[in-house]
Amino acid sequence: MNARGYTRFVSAALSLLISARAARSDPPGEAAHGPRAPDDRFPSHVFRLAAHQPERVQLAFHYGLSQPLVEHGFNAAVDVRYRRLVLTYSHGQGLDDAIALRAKEKAAGMNLDLSYSTGGGIGVLLMDELWILADFKLHHFDASVGAEQATYETVTVGGEIGWRFFVWRGFNIGVVARYWPNVWSSAAGGIVFHDASGHPFTHNAVWQGASGFLGNVLLGWAFDL
């Protein structure tokens, strides 16, 4: 194909593409937001008081930023949504939880790793992209001071409130606030360790975040099945 023929071919292809885009229109009453947003609109989020209820089952994956930035691990989650129903499962791995230690424990050189945190929740969409959840989580800790080592688990039952903003098509940014109080621990009586001078001290099972309160920023992608 010579240069003139190639130019004609490209021009014809572009004309067809422009015509096809011009013919596209949203279904009646369809709000341009989230994964249903046309890919030529930006931003794709439309604020409204009514809940953005998925008319079909929606699958969403998201990744927490506080875990790699603060605890040097990772956390990933998957959500399933339909109408106002929200189901979620998340899993964190390899988290350094030294931030939860008391000053005396840090002075003794204690290490505390949250080797995994896993569980799920069920909730409801309230308005726009605002949701609330009831969460159930299992957390496994590895604690050590020198050669002394111990493991224990905690269970939290708490709540979460969050909101997400669709930036482009299914790509979204979410902010969440959580309260995950301990309701059970395998180390209910505490674990005794010894500092470098041999003096004993008791490590009590830690809570998530600050006395059970924690927040996060999520990066995610959602799409309708």
Given the structure tokens 């422009």, which residue do they identify?
18
pLDDT in tens, 117-153: 999 999 999 999 999 999 999 999 999 999 999 999 9
Long-range contacts of 96-103 (CB under 8 A, 24+ apart): 96/71, 96/72, 97/71, 97/141, 97/206, 99/70, 99/71, 100/206, 100/207, 101/206
Helix (H) / strand (E) containing 88: strand 85-96
Q: Which domains does the chain have, with CATH numbers?
A: 56-224 (2.40.160.20)
pLDDT in tens, 147-180: 999 999 999 999 999 999 999 889 999 999 999 9
pTM greater than 0.85 (yes/no): no
